A and B are shown apart, each in its own frame.
Chain A
Amino acid sequence: NAGVTQTPKFQVLKTGQSMTLQCAQDMNHEYMSWYRQDPGMGLRLIHYSVGAGITDQGEVPNGYNVSRSTTEDFPLRLLSAAPSQTSVYFCASGSQRYNEQFFGPGTRLTVL
């Protein structure tokens, strides 16, 4: 199993550009989520999904969109990037049986 994979690993954007961060998992987990990590603030929940076709907002959803068309994939879209979105982004998937989450390797995003 590859676990949780994320692409790209690094990305530099200019203000106003759009992009999609990809996340995929091969563990057949129903729960998937996106977090951002900023210095001194730990990880904060952006959006999450409890299954295909079902998404909801987390603590810091503004400026981000998500969709979940399959169990495996959960992309995160930035429609118009802003410098405040410079961060490290983590995707995670969760096992309902064990109530624990597995994280991808992260994407470091810089918005100039």
Chain B
Amino acid sequence: AQTVTQSQPEMSVQEAETVTLSCTYDTSENNYYLFWYKQPPSRQMILVIRQEAYKQQNATENRFSVNFQKAAKSFSLKISDSQLGDTAMYFCAFMKPPFQGAQKLVFGQGTRLTINP
């Protein structure tokens, strides 16, 4: 079974700084999908960024980028120029290629990120 580990339960940085959240996973699959979700105090789960394992290029979305190291099974999220609105719980998630339509996400434990003014 796949497992996802986020080793940083909490992090705190100053506004405008860059912060990196760590995620490692365990799988025997060669192709899969990785995601970072943001959960602000409103509780809504928001997709931040996704990476497909067969793509070597790291995904980027504005201030958010990932460092995907397939051999090391590592998928870290970098937030540049952090803003107060980035304060949230961040979850790393893994998904095998859908089998018969099933898209099962496996989540890490989450990292609580606080951006200080």
Contact = CB atoms under 8 A, between A and B. Distances in A.
Interface residues of B, number: 27
Contacts of A31: 98, 101-103
Contact of B108 (A42, A51, A92): A42
A30 interface: yes
A41 interface: yes
Interface string B98-117: 10111111111110000000
Contacts of A99: 33, 95, 97-98, 103
Contacts of A33: 103-105
A99 B50 CA distance: 10
Interface stretch (A13-21, A78-86, A101-109): A101-109
B98 to A, nearest CB: 6
B44 interface: yes
A105 B39 CA distance: 10
Nearest to B47: A100
Contacts of A101: 47, 103, 105
Nearest to A98: B50
Nearest to A102: B47
Interface string A5-44: 0000000000000000000000000110101000011111
A75 interface: no
B55 interface: no
A102 B95 CA distance: 14
A102 B102 CA distance: 14
A100 B107 contact: no
Contacts of B91: 42-43
A86 B37 CA distance: 23
Contact of B45 (A30, A51, A56, A103): A103
29 contacts: A31-B98, A31-B103, A33-B103, A33-B104, A35-B107, A40-B9, A40-B109, A41-B109, A42-B107, A42-B109, A43-B45, A45-B104, A45-B105, A45-B106, A50-B101, A51-B101, A88-B43, A94-B103, A96-B98, A99-B33, A100-B35, A100-B47, A100-B50, A103-B37, A103-B44, A103-B45, A105-B44, A106-B43, A106-B44
